């Protein structure tokens, strides 16, 4: 029996490619980025996408594949996929939640500690010989005992908050509705949350509903002694307002794994010394990437076996 035809976006590790090729007839999205570089017969055969990457997946691509019925996304965020259009065409979408929660939360804590304790600069201080020549590194900031706000208390936001409990922090949070929590303080307004804490961690989901939710007003409320940490999406922050505040030292600092226009981020970030920049690598561990690939394949296999999808979005 012939294997079902799927279209892969971007490259996969061997541990994903081998089972993909074992279960499916795999076609690669053209490196040109032009759908019609695949012949019409091939496009007619493809009924599912194994989608990966941060490029936009909208009507133009979807319409080039007349028999497309499933978009299996590699990742928890799916804001680059036009869900409304896919749904209007009867196309199902899946993602890979939960399996990357721990690694994303771990990186949030890692960035927070690295910024507060000046770990990157202190390491350079030792390597440059300044420790011997100039003495002790400048004093940094504690995390333990501070007030930390979480914007978005979904899976990842809650995982960040749980880790922060180990540092005896005073945890505050914002979400659409108040959650069942172990004594954490709820704020129904982001500006109020930002004013109340020393550190604000952004963990909301991406998409149009949260575009620039960390507005100029929220950034101003973080204040000159406050730190902003973003592990959500670059679209959630008003980057123009943020860069202005960072240049003016109206905010103590910014640590982020996500940006607008990745990987071609606003070069002004790279000129600042009160930022910690990461290359969107929060889920980039061997263990998590294997789990993400496995869950993506589970959704594909369920679809072709006419079983319920494992982690449907729509």
Residue 101: phi and psi, rounded to 5, are -55, -50
In whole angstroms, how far apart are CA 154 and each of 117, 133, 160, 209, 283?
A: 27, 48, 10, 15, 17
Contacts of 184 (CB under 8 A, 6+ apart): 161, 171, 172, 173
* Known catalytic membership, residue 233: yes
Report the C-alpha gap between 227 and 21 in whole angstroms.
46
* Known catalytic membership, residue 280: yes
Residue 124: phi and psi, rounded to 5, are -65, -35
Burial classification of residue 214, based on how many CB atoms lie within 10 Å of its CB (0-12 exposed, 13-18 middle, 19 or more buried): buried
Report the C-alpha gap between 199 and 252 in whole angstroms.
10
* Known catalytic membership, residue 262: yes
Residue 102: phi and psi, rounded to 5, are -65, -45
Report the C-alpha gap between 306 and 314 in whole angstroms.
16
Query: Three-class SS of residue 201?
Result: strand
Burial classification of residue 143, based on how many CB atoms lie within 10 Å of its CB (0-12 exposed, 13-18 middle, 19 or more buried): buried
Q: Which of 60, 217, 262, 287 is catalytic?
A: 262
Q: Are 46 and 7 in contact (CB under 8 A)?
A: yes
Q: Which of 172, 233, 252, 289 is catalytic?
A: 233
Report the C-alpha gap between 92 and 83 in whole angstroms.
9
Report the C-alpha gap between 234 and 149 in whole angstroms.
18
> What are the residue numbers of the active site?
233, 262, 280
């Amino acid at each position: 029996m012939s294997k079902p035809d799927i279209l892969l976006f971007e490259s996969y590790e061997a541990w994903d490619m081998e089972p993909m090729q074992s279960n499916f007839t795999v076609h690669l999205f053209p490196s040109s980025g032009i759908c019609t570089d695949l012949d019409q017969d091939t496009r007619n055969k493809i009924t599912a996408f194994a989608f990966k990457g941060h490029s936009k997946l909208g009507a133009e691509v979807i319409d080039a594949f007349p028999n497309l019925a499933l978009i299996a996304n590699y990742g928890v965020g799916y804001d680059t996929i036009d869900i409304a259009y896919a749904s209007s065409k009867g196309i199902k979408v899946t993602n890979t939640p939960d399996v990357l929660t721990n690694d994303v939360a771990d990186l949030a804590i890692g960035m927070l500690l690295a910024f507060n304790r000046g770990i990157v600069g202190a390491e350079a201080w030792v390597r440059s010989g300044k420790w011997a020549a100039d003495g002790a590194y400048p004093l940094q900031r504690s995390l333990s005992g501070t007030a930390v706000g979480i914007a978005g208390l979904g899976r990842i936001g809650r995982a960040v908050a749980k880790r922060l409990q180990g540092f005896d922090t005073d945890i505050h949070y914002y979400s659409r509705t108040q959650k069942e929590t172990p004594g954490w303080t709820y704020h129904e307004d982001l500006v109020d949350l930002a004013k109340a804490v020393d550190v604000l961690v952004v963990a909301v989901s991406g998409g149009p509903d949260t575009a620039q939710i960390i507005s100029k007003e929220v950034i101003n409320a973080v204040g000159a002694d406050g730190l902003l940490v973003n592990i959500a999406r670059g679209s959630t922050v008003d980057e123009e307002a943020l860069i202005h505040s960072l240049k003016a030292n109206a905010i103590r600092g910014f640590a982020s794994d996500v940006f607008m226009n990745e990987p071609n981020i606003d070069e002004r970030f790279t000129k600042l010394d009160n930022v910690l920049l990461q290359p969107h690598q929060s889920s980039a561990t061997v263990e998590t990437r294997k789990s993400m690939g496995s869950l993506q394949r589970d959704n594909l296999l369920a679809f072709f076996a006419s079983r319920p999808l494992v982690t449907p979005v729509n």
